[in-house]
Amino acid sequence: MDHEVSTFWQKYLKEAKLAKTTNFYEAFHFCDDQTSADELLKLVLMGKKTATTSSYLAYKNSDELPKVGCYSIVTDYLGKPFCIIQTSSIKIMKFSEMTFDLAKLEGEDDDLTSWQQNHFAYFKRDGIICDYQFSWEMPIVFEEFVVVYKSD
């Protein structure tokens, strides 16, 4: 584990009075390019982004899926930690079943069409890396979260 991420996590555990043995699910940045990753991080820090969507097919094993209550460390594109989120809800649905009521929780798009276009493009790229093919009927993981800790 990266030293800066480890230090950030340990500081949170101490301030939140959680057991030192408490683990986090992952340290990650949103999206696959620096501009988007850093912009999405800003939306989380401003409270505008409270959800994210990933491809169910990207998970090789369903045991790897995030679970309600798990913690994750959100970093900028370069890996610097900025906040800790806790998963509050998981919904698995088809891409075609996404509604704008859910999509707007991601804080990125002004309408469902925009959300679909942006996520279609991302899932096409992600599918190449994670060995799956995008389809409108593919399962997605919609994760809602709350920010439980921010850097000073």
| 58 conformational bin, left if phi > 0, alpha if psi -120 to 50, beta if neither | alpha
Residue 81 sits in a domain whose CATH number is 3.10.400.10
Q: Pairing between strand 26-28 and 51-55?
A: unpaired
Is 49:107 a contact under the CB 8 Å cutoff? Answer: yes
* Mean pLDDT in residue range 96-112: 97
Which tops the pLDDT comparison, 60 or 45? Answer: 45
Q: What is the pLDDT of residue 108?
A: 94
Q: Is the pTM of this model over 0.85?
A: yes
- Number of domains the chain is built from: 1
User: Which residues form the domain of 109?
Assistant: 3-150
Is 115:98 a contact under the CB 8 Å cutoff? Answer: yes
Is 123:58 a contact under the CB 8 Å cutoff? Answer: no
**Nearest CA-CA partner of 86 in 51, 131, 120:** 51
Q: What is the pLDDT of residue 128?
A: 94
**Nearest CA-CA partner of 144 in 75, 46, 56, 44:** 44
